[in-house]
């Protein structure tokens, strides 16, 4: 089975006006996406932020649940948070995956809207690639804010289709989207 890593990108991302920004890390996202990563057999979960204050927050949170009083209070959360690490840039996360896996990962983005100029990959197809013994390690990118900028998207090897529900409303939290995507890729 190919290694699947998840990266939650906090910067650079877009705001609703299309400006490049950096969003804040939230405890809910750290905990929930780490738990989903662990549940679906992920190899690691990166929080990508250039802000040292946010990197310190991630360190403090994970330390509390791995080694502090949180470790004894909730052993399941301790296991999930072992998957968490931070990276200051996407390139740093890619380099860390490459070092761990011995080869460059394929980069697969997610988006709440269709993306032009990036090859599309269906969930079933990527799921089959990940299930293959000789499958490439994959780094799955989840954007915060209003999504990933165009200069990040053009670096992708593929993009998954948006998640659509039964209504025209399409504004899932990144935590919900992550769980749905991971289930589609690795669920039984």
Instruction: Tell me the pLDDT band of 168, cut-offs 50, 70 and 90.
Output: confident
pTM: 0.94
Residue 62 and residue 81 in contact, taking contact as beta carbons nearer than 8 Å: yes
- Compute the distance between CA of residue 146 and CA of residue 13 in angstroms, rounded to an integer: 7
Give the rounded distance of the alpha carbon of 52 from its chain centre.
19
Domain ranges across the chain? 4-186
- Compute the distance between CA of residue 6 and CA of residue 170 in angstroms, rounded to an integer: 22
Asked if residue 73 has pLDDT above 90, the reply is no
- Coil, strand, or helix at residue 77? helix
Instruction: Tell me the pLDDT band of 65, cut-offs 50, 70 and 90.
Output: confident
* Weakest-pLDDT range from 61-75, 101-115, 147-161: 61-75
* Nearest alpha carbon to residue 179 among 158, 168, 167, 163: 163
- Compute the distance between CA of residue 92 and CA of residue 164 in angstroms, rounded to an integer: 32
Instruction: List Cα–Cα distances, 113 to 70, 109, 116, 148, 164, in angstroms.
Output: 38, 11, 10, 11, 9
- Compute the distance between CA of residue 48 and CA of residue 141 in angstroms, rounded to an integer: 10
- Coil, strand, or helix at residue 90? helix
Percent of the chain residues past pLDDT 70, beyond the cut? 99
Which CATH architecture best describes the domain 4-186?
3-Layer(aba) Sandwich (3.40)
Q: What's the first-to-final CA gap in the chain, in angstroms?
A: 14
Task: State mean pLDDT over 27-31.
Answer: 90
Q: Per the structure block, which two tokens stand in for 107?
A: 């980069």
Instruction: List Cα–Cα distances, 169 to 146, 164, 175, in angstroms.
Output: 15, 8, 17
Strands 158-159 and 138-143: unpaired
């Amino acid at each position: 089975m190919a290694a699947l890593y998840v990266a939650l990108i906090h910067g650079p991302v877009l705001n609703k006006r299309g400006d490049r920004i950096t969003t804040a890390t939230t405890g809910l996202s750290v905990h929930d996406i780490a738990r989903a990563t662990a549940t679906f057999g992920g190899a690691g979960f990166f929080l990508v932020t250039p802000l040292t204050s946010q990197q310190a927050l991630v360190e403090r949170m994970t330390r509390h649940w791995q080694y502090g009083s949180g470790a004894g209070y909730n052993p399941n959360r301790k296991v999930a948070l072992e998957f968490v690490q931070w990276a200051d840039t996407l390139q740093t996360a890619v380099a860390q995956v490459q070092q761990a896996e011995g080869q460059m990962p394929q980069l697969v983005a997610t988006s709440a809207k269709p993306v032009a100029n990036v090859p599309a990959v269906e969930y079933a197809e990527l799921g089959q690639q990940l299930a293959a013994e000789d499958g490439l390690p994959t780094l799955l990118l989840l954007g915060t804010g209003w999504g990933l900028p165009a200069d990040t998207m053009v670096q992708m090897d593929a993009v998954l289709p948006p998640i659509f529900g039964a209504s025209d409303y399409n504004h899932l939290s990144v935590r919900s989207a992550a769980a749905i995507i991971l289930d589609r890729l690795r669920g039984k």
